[in-house]
Structures are given as C-alpha cells and as structure tokens.
Amino acid sequence: MMGLIASNTEQWKEGVARVELPCVWNLNSEGIIMINNSSLNKWHRLAHKQLNQQFVHEIIHGMNCSSFEASAILDTVYRVYRPYFETSGTLKPGQILFQVVSVETSTNTPLAEGKQVMVTLTLDAGPEDLRVREKQGVQALRRHRMQRICIEAFQQGGLLTIEDLANRLFNCGQRTLSRDLEAFREQGIVLPLRSTIKDMGRSITHRSLIIQQWLKGMEYSEIARNTHHGIQSVQNYVSKFKRIVALAEEGYDINTIAFLAKMSASLVQTYFELYGKGDIIPHRRKELQSFLKKGALQIPVGRSQ
C-alpha cells in the first residue's frame, strides 16, 4: 500500500494548502521513491485565478456586464496598472512612480487626450546626491537631479514638462528652472523635455543646438549622446543645415528657403545666424565649402525635419 511521506515533520491540517510543500514523495509497491513534479508556482497560480474570477464576478453582477465585457475590463486593468504591479516592492529608496506624457504623443494632441506612460524616477540617489549638495550647493543639486530624472523618463518612453518639474516634483518656480535650462544650454547639454524634443513653446530647438555642436567640431556620436538623439537623426539635421546654407549662398530669401525645405522661417533664420557668426572651426568650414562646390541644392521632399 502506498505511503505518504512529508518532507518535514509538521502536522497536517485537513483542508490547508501548503505552498511551502509543492511536492511530496510517494512509495510505490516496489518501494521506489517517486517524485511529484508539480509546479512550484501552483498555488500562486490558483490564487491568481481566484482573484481574477472574483474581479470578473464583481463586474458582471455589480455593473450588469457580460462575461466578455468583464474579461475585457480585467485586461485593461492589467495593461494600465502593469507598471505599478511590476515595480511594486522593487522601487529603490528615493524612487517614485510618476505618470508622464508619452514620447509618441504628437505636438498637436492636447495633453489630456495624449498617451501617457508610467515611469520610475530617482528623486534622491542617496550618497551621490549628498556629495553634490556638499561640494556644489543647492542649485547644483537641483540641476543634477533635474538632468537625471529627465533622462530616466525619456529612456522609459516618456517626456517631462517644465510644469511637471516645477509644480509636481521640485516645488519651485518655472523661472528658476528656465535659468537652469539656460545653464545647461551654455554647456551644450540638451535635456530631453517635451518642449525641446518636440520643439514646443519658446524653448530653443534641439535642432539649432545640434548644429551648434557640429560647427564646434563634435562628432555625430558625441552630439547624439549630448542631445539624446539617434546618430541618424543628427546626421539628417546636419544635412538639412548644409542645404539651407547652400540655398542662402545662391541668393534665395528666407521665406523661399523655408518653403523649399519645409521648415519654419524662424528656424531658417537661426541657421543663417549660426552660419554667419563665423564661430566655426576650420575643418567644419572646409566641409561646408566642399559641399557648396558640389552644388548640392536639391531639397528632399517629405516630412519636415
């Protein structure tokens, strides 16, 4: 007769499921030990299914929905709250979950109607932040944190706004943050905010900053890293800048160039000013002159860059 041998000496209680004993040993008629290879997550799965069933039951009877509708609602709950479920219990000290506008949301979509994503932001990095505060002061710490969380949001598919930073995260004035952004720009650093990535508002465009760094001799990879863009995007912006310069050298006016290049007149004017300043290192100026000699004036037709 088969005997049942538990893996510990704990007394059995009838009707109690033991998650800590996912498998037992059985002795067959020949005295050979057989192992029941049941899943270690068996009871977790059962509990999960019971919760799902409870939720569906509440929706069906509480909101008079069909089983199909209740299941669809359950799927939506998982999809929306998945970032919270996945990070619950794994957030590091100093981190928060924060809802931001998705990088996929277009500029002509109202924020209230745009796609949003949940991101994890590190407001306080512990010893790292303390060292910045001790050696450089409060202002440097704010800028250090500002740069970090903007990059974190961008890497997770979201874009912070000045309003997010001022009113929801740092509890400070927007003018204060505008001065911080100006300090970053002077260092050639572009924070991936919605206003810069999407060229919204009065914020200086990332395009002109990319061109400034290229004229100073930075390589595409370095510019891409500084501005949080792909190398191909940087190359496209530089190519468009070269064509704008070529058209200007041929005597076309700003409005005509803007029409041909499918760019705003203000951006064309900015490119004019960058080219006319003369603050161009020799090998970049030589590259531009070489491009002009080729007479490469054809502007690609397509979406605006």
Which tens digit of pLDDT belongs to each residue from 7-27?
444 444 444 444 444 444 444
Domain boundary among 143, 171, 204: 204
**221, 210 contact by CB (below 8 A):** no
87 in any annotated domain: no
How many other β-carbons are positioned within 10 Å of the β-carbon of residue 161? 19
Is 200 in the same domain as 230?
no
Whether the full predicted model's pTM is greater than 0.75, yes or no, is no
Question: Domain total for the chain?
Answer: 3
279 in any annotated domain: yes
Is 68 in the same domain as 102?
no
Helix (H) or strand (E) holding 4: strand 3-5
85 in any annotated domain: no
296 in any annotated domain: yes
Is 219 in the same domain as 193?
no
Confidence band (pLDDT; 50, 70, 90) for 76? confident
Is 230 in the same domain as 305?
yes
> What's the gap between Cα 246 and its chain centre?
36
Is 145 in the same domain as 42?
no
98 in any annotated domain: yes
Domain boundary among 80, 103, 133: 80
Domain boundary among 31, 60, 80: 80
Residue 294 main-chain phi, psi, to 5 deg? -75, -15
**204, 185 contact by CB (below 8 A):** yes
Is 147 in the same domain as 157?
yes
Is 266 in the same domain as 193?
no
Which tens digit of pLDDT belongs to each residue from 200-257?
444 456 677 788 788 888 888 887 777 767 788 788 888 888 888 888 888 888 888 8
Is 150 in the same domain as 200?
yes
Its domain, for residue 272, covers 206-305
What are the CB-based long-range contacts (under 8 Å, 24+) for 99-105?
100/153, 100/158, 100/159, 100/160, 100/161, 100/164, 101/158, 101/159, 101/161, 101/194, 102/157, 102/158, 102/159, 103/154, 103/157, 103/158, 103/159, 103/197, 104/157
86 in any annotated domain: no
Which tens digit of pLDDT belongs to each residue from 168-187?
999 999 999 999 988 988 88
73 in any annotated domain: yes
263 in any annotated domain: yes
